[in-house]
Amino acid sequence: MNEDLKNRTRDFALRILKLFAALPKSTEAQVLGKQILRCGTSVGAQYRESQYAKSDPDLISKIEGCLQELEETEYWLELIEELQLFTSAQLQPLRTETGELKAIFITIVKKIKSRKV
């Protein structure tokens, strides 16, 4: 398991938890918060689960699951920004990390797929 990626996905989950805790208690903020909480914290869990994949197709499936959760996280971040629950500047570090994690997982999937050739 890549220790750096293990730590980054854990830290990502912690940042999502802090974002959720800082959201206003309004209904719409809490609905968005629960959505981002679910998908943002599952990235690291799915990455750890991928370390026990039974085959390359299973590994690809699990890593692509991480990508799906990151894409969903991006969506909720966009809505949080649109509703002005946080400023763009406040969300930018989290959005940057989301994009960087997506790039890493895409690279992993491509490398696994290239092994088949």
pLDDT at 117: 55
pLDDT at 86: 97
- pLDDT tens, residue by residue, 7-44: 999 999 999 999 999 999 999 999 999 999 999 999 99
Q: Architecture of 3-22+35-114 per CATH? A: Up-down Bundle (1.20)
Residue 98 has pLDDT above 60, yes or no: yes
Spatial separation of the C-alpha atoms in residues 95 and 49, rounded to whole Å: 24
pTM: 0.93
So where are the chain's domains? 3-22+35-114
pLDDT averaged over the chain? 96
The mean per-residue pLDDT over the stretch 72-91 comes to: 97
Please state, in angstroms and as integers, the Cα–Cα distance from residue 96 to each residue in 21, 47, 86, following that order. 20, 19, 15
